[in-house]
Structures are given as C-alpha cells and as structure tokens.
Structure 1
Amino acid sequence: MNTVKERTIGQVVTDDYRAAQVFRNYGLDFCCGGNLTIEEACEKKNVDPTKVHTALQGLTDKNGKEDNYDQWSLDFLVDYIVNNHHQFSRKKLPEIGAYAKKVAKVHGERHPELTEIYYEFTKLHSEMINHLDKEEELLFPYIKEMVEAEKNNETPEQPDYISAANPVSMMEDEHDDAGAAIAKIRELSNDFTPPEDACTTYRILFENLEGFEKDLHKHVHLENNILFPKALELEKRLN
C-alpha cells in the first residue's frame, strides 16, 4: 500500500474529499493536477509540504467524513455529476456572465482587469457548454451501457469512437483548459478580492466566481480521478 507521501493528491482527495479544502488552502491543484504527489505539487507552488501533511493529519482526528464517491457505482456517479455539477454549471454560467458584463461596463474604466475577466469567462462559458453536451451525449451514455452490460454479463455495443479512451482524453484536455481559465480569472481578480470601491454587484460577481471555481474543482476531480479511470478499467474488463 502506498504511503501518503507516495500517493497523488488526486488519490488523497478520492479517499477523503475533506482533503480538497486543505489543498485549496495552499493553492494546490487536486483535479487537473491530481496526478502529482504532495511533494511534487508543493515544490511546484513553493509550499512547505510539512504544513500540508500536518493539515491532512488533522482530518483523521475529526468526524464528518464526506460521501465516499469512490465507492459509488459508475452509473450512479454519472447521474450525480449531471444532476449536480452539470446542472449547476448550466444555471450559473449565464448568471455569472451577466454580472461580469454589467460590472465590466460600469467599472471597467477604473478597473480594466474586469474587461479581461468578462472576456475569459465568456470564452469559458461557451467552451464548457459544448463540453457538457459532449459528455452527456457521447461518453456518459456509453459508460452507463457498460455498467448495464457488466450486470447482465454482456458485451456492450462498440461506440463510433471505438474506445472510451478517445473521448476521455479529449474531456481531460478540456478540463485542463477550463482549469487554466478559472485560474487566470482568479489571478485577474486578486484571488476574488473586490477593491474597496466595489459596489454590491461587483462583490456578488466575485463571490459567484469563487463558488463556481470550487464547484468546478470538485466536478473535474470526480471525473478525472474517479469516473474516467474506472470507466477505462471497466471497458478493459468487458473487452
């Protein structure tokens, strides 16, 4: 069994999602960058790994461990992702976009970074909707078909894209793009910190952006670190 130091941060979060907040506190990417060990991720961000390990150790002394997503069936996990994270994105993307447009128009002259934030978020909005559609129309139905085939001891019908590895690779690349976009927005917004002269709408925008980032990180983690690897393993077993 791998020790905590040998496991990737994606595996640590998979075992206990409360660890996500620890990594978030230290600016460590546990979703798109979840394939790094704690030491590797800390070195990349110039963070003391001892502090991270101490914070993680503190979790073991507390109750309230979150749902163990790693133990869920893949079809249930797919439905959870669609009903929670996909629906959240479809609802919040246009809402946040409207806030970003209004704030950039009113305050953009004094705070030009708002125009950049609006541009980055508009691009992210478009790309994410396209991404969600592809998952829901192509990859997710095939994963659920494979789950059903295994239950019935059958071989699933081969999809047009031949192997799940093809769309999975594409989805992971698009996750990287979304992660980079929200990271840039975080940088432009000074870690979602509104200036002293910010109006209520300005502050609501930054609060929503931070909430969207948090949801996106969990969304990508569930897919990159749990759903996709298990789907590829399942496909291999069936074939």
Structure 2
Amino acid sequence: MEINENTIIGQLVATDYRTADVFRHHGIDFCCKGNRAIGQVCTEKKLDMAPILNELHDITATPECSIQTYHIWPLDQLAEHIVRKHHHYVAQKIPVLHQYLRKVCQVHGQEHPELWQIAALFTAAASELTAHMEKEELILFPRIREIVKKQEAGEYFESGAVSKVDKPIAVMMGEHDQEGERFRKIAELSNNYTPPENACNTYRVTYGILKEFQDDLHQHIHLENNILFPKAIAAEKTLTGSCKIPS
C-alpha cells in the first residue's frame, strides 16, 4: 500500500507488522490509537515526519517471507490465534511477574520507590486483563465463530436483529485503552524498562519480562482493534437481512 501522511497507522501495521517497530521506536501508539493518520500523529507529537516515512518505505520495500498476513485470515482462525498465543501468554506470565515484582520491591523498594507503583499498576492490569480475556472467550469470540458458520453455510441472521458484537467490542476497546494507558505509566516509571546501573539480575529480568509483556499486549490489542473487531462488525452486518455476502 502507498505510505504517506494520510496513511492510517493501524491499517498499515495490519498489512505489514514489521512497521510496528518503526512506530514503537518513535513512541507512536499503533494499537489503542491506531485509527489516526501518520501526519496527524507527527503534528501532535511534534515529530519530523520525513525520516519516519523513509523508515516505513525502507522496511516495506524489503521482501519478507515470514510476514503474517493476519488481515486475510478467517475471523475464527484469527480469534483462535489470539487465544492460543496472546491469552495463554498473559495467563502464563502474570504469576511470574507477580513473583519477581514482589521480590524486587522487598529488596530495592526503599531505594527505588517507583517499584511499588509499578507493582500496583501491574497488579491492577493483571486482574483486569484476566476478566477481559474471559469475556472475550465466553461472549465475543463465540459470536464471531457463529458469524463464520453463517457465512460458510450461506445463511443470514434474522432481519433487523440487534448486533451482538457492537456492544461487546465497544467495551473491549475501552478496556484496551485503559490497559494501554496503564502500561504507558509503567514504561514512564521504569524509564522505558531501563534498570539502574547497579541493578541485580532479578531486577533486570523483571524489567525485561515487563517489556516483553507490554510488546505482546501491543500486538494483541492491534490484532483485535485494527483487524478482528472491524471485520467482525462488517461481517455481521452483511448477514443481517437480505444483503448479499461479499465474495
């Protein structure tokens, strides 16, 4: 796709996830606030747009066989991928990070009081994300699978039926914004996950896993906000009433 000041960030990352590294490097949110144009964001953040566009052109001009074309995946396949890769990752890392954060707070919390704030923010995020993923797996994703089955069978929902994805998706996106803000605070408090020079190995490992957790969350939110959710809303609309399913 052509890349210029009017290119929507989330759509670009949906097409080629390698561009996420460029936006991440320049502190540009491509997941929760990925519905903005590059030029708009550069103006708001007072960034020089020219080198950013050059980096994006360079990275997209390089063929890469391993690019994940998530934007053309079937909706149920993408939802399953999110559960298996991102939901499972979050569930596995939460207890690990709780353990590490307790330890570094006890040992280094007096000298670095920001650790207590980071631990509190992560504890809140862990609780909210656990509930968030459960709602997706029990409410939203089953509806998405139902949409796919209707498409495959050439069937429709009842004419004029109330959407069963609009409201849950609005709730999920609001919660994504909340977690994005929470991790922005964690990144700020941790100096972008940079441990002090005299930090012990546990301190360094804790920040490393937190950074990994944040990066995984960014991709997780991107896949939902910029690909799965808008496609699910559009697909449900095509199956309501007598409109034809697009080929």
TM-score scaled by length of structure 2:
0.92
Q: How many residues were matched structurally? A: 238
- Are the equivalent residues in 2 in contact too, given 1:10–1:34 (CA < 8 A)? yes
Residue number in structure 1 paired with 2:53? 53
* Unaligned stretches of 5+ residues in structure 1: none
* Unaligned stretches of 5+ residues in structure 2: 241-247
Alignment of 1:104-115 (within 5 A): 104-115=105-116
Opposite residue 201 of structure 2, the aligned amino acid is T
| 2:229 equivalent to 1:228 | yes
Alignment of 1:40-119 (within 5 A): 40-64=40-64, 66-119=67-120
Whole-angstrom CA distance in 2 between matches of 1:27 and 1:207:
18
Residue number in structure 1 paired with 2:243? none
Whole-angstrom CA distance in 1 between matches of 2:133 and 2:220:
11
Whole-angstrom CA distance in 2 between matches of 1:101 and 1:3:
45
Residue number in structure 2 paired with 1:6? 6
Deviation by residue 1:188-226 (Cα, 9 ceiling, x = unmatched)? 000100001211110000000110111001000000000
- Are the equivalent residues in 2 in contact too, given 1:14–1:225 (CA < 8 A)? yes
TM-score scaled by length of structure 1:
0.95
Opposite residue 44 of structure 1, the aligned amino acid is E
- In angstroms, what is the RMSD of aligned CA positions? 1.7
Percent identity between the two aligned chains: 44
- Are the equivalent residues in 2 in contact too, given 1:146–1:234 (CA < 8 A)? yes
| 2:146 equivalent to 1:132 | no
| 2:15 equivalent to 1:15 | yes
- Are the equivalent residues in 2 in contact too, given 1:27–1:45 (CA < 8 A)? no
Whole-angstrom CA distance in 2 between matches of 1:80 and 1:91:
16
- Are the equivalent residues in 2 in contact too, given 1:145–1:156 (CA < 8 A)? no
Whole-angstrom CA distance in 2 between matches of 1:230 and 1:237:
11
- Are the equivalent residues in 1 in contact too, given 2:187–2:193 (CA < 8 A)? yes
